[in-house]
A = this chain, B = another copy of it.
Amino acid sequence: MKNSRDPDFPDSFNWGQFLPALAIDCVIFGYSEDGLKILILGYKNTSFFSLPGGFIRKKEAIDDAAKRILEERTGLNDIYLNQFYAFGNLERSDPEPMKMIMENNGFTPSNDHWLLQRFVSLGYFALVNYKRVKPRPGFLSDSCRWYGIHELPELIFDHAKMVEQALKILRRDVYSKRIGKNLLFEMFTMGELQKLYESILDEKLHRTGFHRKMMRSGLLKRLGKKKTGGAHRSPYLYSFRSDKPKHTIS
């Protein structure tokens, strides 16, 4: 198996610097008024789409690798990260899509090319502020853009399962971790927070019940000021208390 530098690739594709057989894939969630979104890569000269992913350097912690991969695609480096599952069955290792991607872009990889080996992939999900992200395609991808959670294109490998699993865990933890802190701006109204929750949980929530539940949870603090310029009554602004550590893995 070719384990050294691939002469036609940029330097970051010097495969020998990475742990073999182990990859990272990221489900990057963002939120705007029209709902929850995921950042998806589209590959050049093909109709393949995938989650942003990458590899782990030989002297790099896996969490640091995930952070680096996220920064490469979003430009952000203070990101809420959650490692949620390791995907490693045999069916997921289908070399065909990657082979076709390489061939359609001028490479003719041998069957034992490093990129075509079997990978076990560590799934991370990230919560980022949609507006702060500058999506950046990678070397073989020519698009990197947001897709609504219900309008995802077909994804290669088992990436659809990864999205499903990440969503499941996001929904499980939405009331116990300060999910909103990472998807909204610093200050927000209760209505904005409720719309976020409805988008994550994919269901309508009762306004008053939600209001009290969030206040009772103790995660929020109400700021004295009110928002100006709204169409009707000025709502209070809220923010998350910063008692707990900012980045919580697991």
Contacts and interface: CB of A to CB of B under 8 A. Distances in A.
A22 interface: yes
Interface SS, A side: mixed
Contacts of A118: 19, 58-59
A36 interface: no
Contact of A86 (B19, B59, B60, B122): B122
A170 to B, nearest CB: 14
Interface in A59-112: 59-63, 83, 85-86, 88-90
A61 B90 contact: yes
Interface of A: 19-22, 56, 58-63, 83, 85-86, 88-90, 118, 120, 122, 165, 250
23 contacts: A19-B20, A20-B21, A21-B22, A22-B22, A56-B120, A58-B118, A59-B90, A59-B118, A61-B88, A61-B89, A61-B90, A62-B86, A62-B88, A62-B89, A62-B120, A63-B88, A63-B89, A83-B85, A83-B86, A85-B250, A86-B122, A88-B122, A120-B122
